[in-house]
């Protein structure tokens, strides 16, 4: 059963995230985006349930928010994938993301 409140859109963007346990930035890439969250791919570690600050570069802006790892998939080889739920997103960033996702849906439509 699908539990998402917002549709996912394939989109690849650079990400920096900062965990409380390791304050230096870690790099990742989005695999998809929605108003409710994103799926990322990273070579750094991340734990299910972990909360952190995330910056997603969507030219010319940068979406900044608080997120939570809902699930983390650790393959035997390759990068880790994680589903991230946005928990704190400013109204400005939410509006920018909504407009960007609408544009992507139009292009992919």
Q: What is the pLDDT of residues 22-78, one digit of tens each?
A: 879 999 999 999 999 999 999 998 899 999 999 999 999 999 999 999 999 988 888
Domains by residue range for the chain, with CATH: 9-108 (2.40.10.220)
pLDDT score at 22: 80
Q: Measured between alpha carbons, how far is residue 44 from residues 47, 80, 82 in Å?
A: 10, 7, 11
Joined tokens for residue 24? 């230096």
pLDDT digits (tens, 9 = 90+) for 80-91: 999 999 999 999
User: Considering the entire predicted model, what is its pTM?
Assistant: 0.89
pLDDT score at 1: 42
pLDDT score at 45: 84
């Amino acid at each position: 059963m699908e539990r998402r409140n917002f549709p996912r859109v394939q989109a690849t963007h650079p990400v920096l995230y900062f965990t409380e346990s390791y304050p230096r930035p870690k790099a990742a890439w989005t695999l998809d985006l929605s108003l409710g969250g994103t799926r990322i791919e990273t070579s750094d570690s991340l734990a299910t349930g972990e909360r952190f600050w995330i910056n997603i570069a969507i030219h010319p802006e940068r979406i900044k928010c608080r997120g939570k790892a809902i699930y983390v998939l650790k393959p035997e080889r390759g990068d880790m994938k994680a589903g991230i739920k946005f928990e704190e997103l400013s109204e400005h960033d939410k509006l920018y993301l909504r407009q960007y996702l609408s544009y992507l849906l139009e292009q992919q439509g």
